[in-house]
Structure 1
Amino acid sequence: MRTAVLGLLAALLTGLGVTAGAGVASACAGGPVARSAAFASTLPQVRYGQSGTTVQGLQLNLKDRGYSLTGTGYYGPLTLAAVKDFQRKHGINPSGIVGSRTWQALVGSKAVGLTTPRPAPRFSVYPGERDRVKVGTLLGYLGRTYGYGDSDTWYGPAMQQQVKRFQKANGIKASGIVGAKTWAALNKVISIAGNWGC
């Protein structure tokens, strides 16, 4: 009886596109994977002259595709050129406006495990912090955002500069204190860029 129930449950999950025991890691493995179309459809239209979290995520997504962008958070001439080139290569009108078709090509084409926002940490990290869990979490987020690979075990000056740079790019007071606003912005940027990894 138990085997029949488990078999029926597995069949139902498979019919829904879910594999029993599947997690983020299997979503990134070879073969067919769930795509991020639902997340991509939530992203707002972005255009030249705008700035903020969505723009920085866009820039880092394009950077991962070989465009020479650094993730400033400002949609300027370099971002415009990259967006238009990407649009041309994907059969989208090269207007430079990032709307639903462009978001689907940029974000919707990625595996769900790469773009699914994570639960934000519920703690703050202050300059000089030495708590390994807090600093390690911050390093993980910074590494996904900027490729920051420093193995500091404390929240020192180099990491503080990266956080302040991120905060400025996202319209957050550049205090170096990593609180709810900074965690939320980091989470969104990583999700749009598709940099969560497996």
Structure 2
Amino acid sequence: MALQPWPQLRQGHKAHPVPSLQYHLRARGHTVVVDGDFGPKTDTAVRAFQKQKNLIVDGIAGPRTWQALVTTVRRGDEGDAVRSAQEELQARNLSGDPSKAPAVDGDFGPQTEKAVRNWQQAIHDVDESAMLVDGIVGGQTWQSLISGMHLG
């Protein structure tokens, strides 16, 4: 099985992966609250980002918008893009123990890197043999996380 497609998010959507969208918009300088609710302010930020990147300005976070929006993060990085990765990894923590996944603190340290490697290995073994297991959250890893693959 291949990677799941990027989701199509628009105003009115709530919950996963809206927080990731909001964190990425913040990482790109847009002022939005990360509340998991794709409301008017998130819509405005998506449209502004689309215009800035010469994309179709429709307020829908689809494949082209996601691909332009996500940024590669790795150990040592800090900020909202890291928080997005941590949020995604926390969402897949089915143990009931939040300490079993990285804290959403915006600091890409050893626990986040280990969780990313574990996620990549699981995707590599089950679904996508081309998935690199490198502990770096790049395009393919972002797509696997944001698309909701294997989400509880």
Q: TM-score range by the shorter chain?
A: 0.5 to 0.7
Q: Scaled by the length of structure 2, what TM-score is found?
A: 0.52
Structure 2 counterpart of 1:100: 63
Structure 2 counterpart of 1:123: 95
**2: distance between equivalents of 1:52 and 1:122?**
17
Unpaired runs of at least 5, structure 2: 75-81, 108-141, 147-152
Q: Scaled by the length of structure 1, what TM-score is found?
A: 0.41
Matches within 5 A, 1:61-72: 61-72=24-35
CA change 1:143–1:48 in 2 (3 A) is same
Which of 100, 105, 115 is 1:143 aligned to?
105
The structure in which a higher percent of residues are helix is 1
Percent identity over paired residues: 32
- RMSD (Å) for aligned C-alpha atoms: 3.3
4+ aligned runs moved over 2 Å, structure 1: 110-125
Structure 2 counterpart of 1:111: 72
CA change 1:71–1:123 in 2 (3 A) is same
**1: distance between equivalents of 2:18 and 2:10?**
9
Does 2:63 match 1:91?
A: no
Count how many residue pairs are aligned between Structure 1 and Structure 2. Answer: 98
Matches within 5 A, 1:3-18: none
CA change 1:72–1:104 in 2 (3 A) is same
Which secondary structure does the structure 2 equivalent of 1:141 belong to? coil
1:82, CA displacement in angstroms?
0.4
For each residue in 1:81-109, what CA deviation from the matched residue of structure 2 results, as whole angstroms up to 9, or x when unmatched? 100000000011111011111111012xx
Unpaired runs of at least 5, structure 1: 1-37, 126-133, 148-187, 193-198
**1: distance between equivalents of 2:54 and 2:94?**
42
